[in-house]
């Protein structure tokens, strides 16, 4: 249960220290005194998100600490040990801490170890349940109603196993769908590659062939022009008789002067080179003798290469390497049909397991529904709604929570048919029915601590007294902390705190002894005009609280 709550620089609170015991603890005070602030502070150490406006003006940070006694809560102790978050010196104690900085940063701690809010929430789910003033609206939700019914009479192990099987089924099915999509994409890609490779294979272009074809085509396509140029060159070179004549004339000159000999040698070389050039040009001229058919064939093949290169969006000279790349990609594609079948079989198995467990959970729910409805109906009657009752309607569903959802059907007046809780016209009726549901659910959930924010709203007089006795009875096995404006409820508290504002408008809290309780109850009864008569009535309320029990 909750043992201590310490608040520093939180909203209107400068410093508060509260010590709690078991049973029913009541918090009272005038409207606006800050009772809800305390519940908001407690919510922060239970993992709720914080905003910068919770930091007290002028302070750099707000801090909330809560100490829990885990005696008898083996699940929480075991969870802390598994997460290595336990207090080795005092394993049955747990300290929760939240620090909120003005710059928006927030930190959470469990037994001095920093943790995430998600981790903190996992722990406190089994420690405290806070029912705020909007609980009437929350209880109208089908998922909340299903949780209440499950907590009342369904094995938690079964619901956990069912949810795990559902998640395993969905996860495996998702993997199978993703793989099937992947395989489809692979097959589509493979079909495209095979089609493209068939085109390239039909062309059968080898490395370097395009460059050879292109060069030959360029040469042959201009063969006529080249032939004319070469023929003119041969004719011109053949007419260079002046070189030969000068060579013959100089050969008969009877002089061995070096310069003359060099000139003779140069003329001899020029004559020989000219003859060689004529010879080579005549040979080259013969290569240009080709038929038009060969040129047409060259042009057609080059056109095929260019067309296919444009289709594949690659340069013509890169078509051959592109062919190899596509072939390598096709070889690397992995279409593991066997893995898909394995996943599909696994998904079917998880689905079968889920349905089997869900059917058992459904039977447990239907078996528990009558008892739950009967107890809530009895509690509704105790709260003064004669003829009021609750029934549980089952609706088909398919989720990790099972094969059905539930909706609480309410009869507030026997003259009218049953309807959903949210459809009740009277706010007071909704409040009393919601309280009855909370009381019955809390008795079964065995939560160590139940916090109620004005659960008695909309009721007064004798009904408020009955509400108080219900809460006090509940407090015999669950710690109940209740914010209330009803003196009848406040009088039944095992411990009583008063919340008020001081002269500086700061929220203060005070534990009340018997005399102070009488004054506070008198204020709640009469407002500002406290008299001896109201004090006497307040004393009577306290006396009756200890003398009577609820049957």
Its pTM stands at 0.61
> Given this model, what pLDDT does residue 359 score?
96
Select from 297, 282, 192, 171 the least CA-distant residue to 234. 282
In a domain, 352, yes or no: no
Task: List pLDDT tens digits, range 87-116.
Answer: 888 889 999 999 999 888 889 999 989 999
Q: Is the pLDDT of residue 31 over 90?
A: no
For residues 69 and 201, state if they share a domain: no
For residues 103 and 215, state if they share a domain: no
In a domain, 142, yes or no: no
Q: How far apart are CA 51 and CA 56, in angstroms?
A: 12
Mean pLDDT of 19-30: 89
For residues 122 and 212, state if they share a domain: no
For residues 120 and 189, state if they share a domain: no
Q: Is 464 left (phi over 0), alpha (psi -120 to 50) or beta?
A: alpha
For residues 306 and 200, state if they share a domain: yes
Average pLDDT, the chain: 84
In a domain, 312, yes or no: yes
In a domain, 486, yes or no: yes
Rg (CA), the chain: 48
Q: How far apart are CA 30 and CA 254, in angstroms?
A: 146
Residue with structure tokens 């290469």? 305
Mean pLDDT of 307-314: 88
Task: List pLDDT tens digits, range 54-95.
Answer: 888 888 899 999 999 988 888 888 888 889 998 888 889 999
Domain that holds residue 458: 1-127+449-462+476-551
Q: How far apart are CA 328 and CA 122, in angstroms?
A: 52
Q: How far apart are CA 327 and CA 196, in angstroms?
A: 10
For residues 9 and 117, state if they share a domain: yes
For residues 198 and 319, state if they share a domain: yes
* Domain endpoint, select from 307, 332, 357: 332
- Residue 538 belongs to domain with CATH number: 3.40.50.300
Label residues 241-250 b or e (16+ Cβ within 10 Å = b).
eeeeeebeee
- Out of 235-239, 243-247, 265-269, 494-498, the most confident range is 494-498
> Which parts of 204-240 fold into alpha helices (H)?
209-221, 223-238
Q: Is the pLDDT of residue 550 over 60?
A: no
* Domain endpoint, select from 332, 358, 377: 332
Please say whether the beta carbons of 443 and 471 come within 8 A.
Answer: no
> Tell me, what DSSP letter sits at residue 55?
B
Q: How many domains does the chain have?
A: 2
């Amino acid at each position: 249960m909750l043992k201590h709550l310490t608040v520093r620089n939180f909203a209107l609170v400068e410093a508060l220290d509260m010590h709690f015991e078991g049973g029913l603890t009541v918090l009272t005070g005038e409207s606006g005194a800050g009772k809800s602030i305390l519940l908001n502070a407690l919510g922060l150490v239970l993992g709720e998100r914080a905003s910068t406006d919770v930091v007290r003006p002028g302070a750099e940070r707000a801090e909330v600490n809560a100490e829990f006694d885990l005696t008898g809560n083996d699940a929480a102790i075991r969870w802390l040990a598994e997460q290595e978050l336990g207090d080795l010196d005092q394993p049955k104690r747990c300290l929760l801490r939240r620090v909120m900085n003005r710059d928006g940063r927030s930190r959470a701690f469990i037994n001095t170890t920093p943790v995430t809010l998600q981790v903190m929430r996992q722990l406190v789910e089994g420690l405290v349940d806070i029912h705020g003033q909007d609980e009437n609206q929350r209880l109208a939700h089908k998922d909340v109603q299903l949780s209440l019914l499950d907590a009342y009479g369904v094995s938690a192990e079964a619901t956990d196993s069912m949810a795990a099987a559902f998640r395993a089924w969905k996860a495996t099915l998702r993997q199978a769908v993703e793989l099937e999509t992947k395989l489809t994409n692979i097959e589509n890609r493979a079909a495209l590659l095979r089609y493209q490779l068939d085109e390239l294979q039909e062309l059968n272009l080898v490395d370097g062939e395009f460059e050879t074809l292109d060069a030959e085509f360029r040469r042959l396509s201009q063969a006529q022009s080249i032939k004319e140029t070469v023929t003119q060159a041969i004719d011109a070179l053949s007419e260079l008789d002046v070189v030969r004549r000068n060579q013959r004339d100089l050969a008969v000159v009877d002089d061995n002067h070096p310069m003359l000999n060099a000139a003779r040698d140069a003329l001899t070389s020029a004559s020989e080179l000219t003859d060689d050039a004529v010879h080579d040009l005549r040979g080259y001229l013969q290569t240009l003798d080709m038929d038009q058919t060969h040129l047409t064939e060259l042009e057609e093949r080059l056109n095929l290469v260019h067309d296919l290169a444009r289709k594949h969006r690659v340069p013509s000279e890169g078509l051959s390497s592109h062919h190899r790349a596509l072939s390598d990609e096709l070889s690397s594609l992995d279409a593991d049909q066997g893995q898909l079948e394995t996943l599909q079989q696994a998904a079917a198995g998880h689905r079968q397991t889920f349905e089997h467990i869900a059917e058992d959970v459904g039977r447990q729910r239907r078996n528990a529904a009558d008892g739950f409805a009967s107890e809530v109906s009895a509690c509704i009657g105790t709260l003064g709604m004669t003829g009021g009752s609750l029934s549980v309607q089952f609706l088909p569903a398919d989720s990790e929570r099972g094969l059905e959802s539930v909706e609480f059907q309410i009869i507030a007046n026997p003259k009218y048919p049953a309807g959903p809780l949210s459809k009740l016209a009277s706010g007071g009726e909704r409040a009393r029915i919601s309280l009855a549901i909370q009381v019955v659910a809390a008795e079964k959930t065995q939560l160590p601590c139940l916090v109620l924010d004005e659960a008695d709203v909309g009721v007064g007089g004798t009904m408020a007294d009955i509400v108080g006795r219900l809460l006090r009875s509940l407090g015999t096995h669950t710690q109940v902390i209740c914010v209330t404006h009803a003196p009848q409820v406040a009088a039944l508290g095992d411990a009583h705190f008063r919340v008020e504002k001081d002269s500086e408008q700061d929220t203060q809290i005070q534990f009340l002894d018997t005399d102070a309780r009488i004054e506070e109850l008198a204020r709640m009864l009469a407002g500002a005009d406290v008299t001896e008569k109201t004090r006497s009535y307040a004393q009577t309320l306290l006396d009756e609280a200890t003398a009577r029990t609820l049957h």
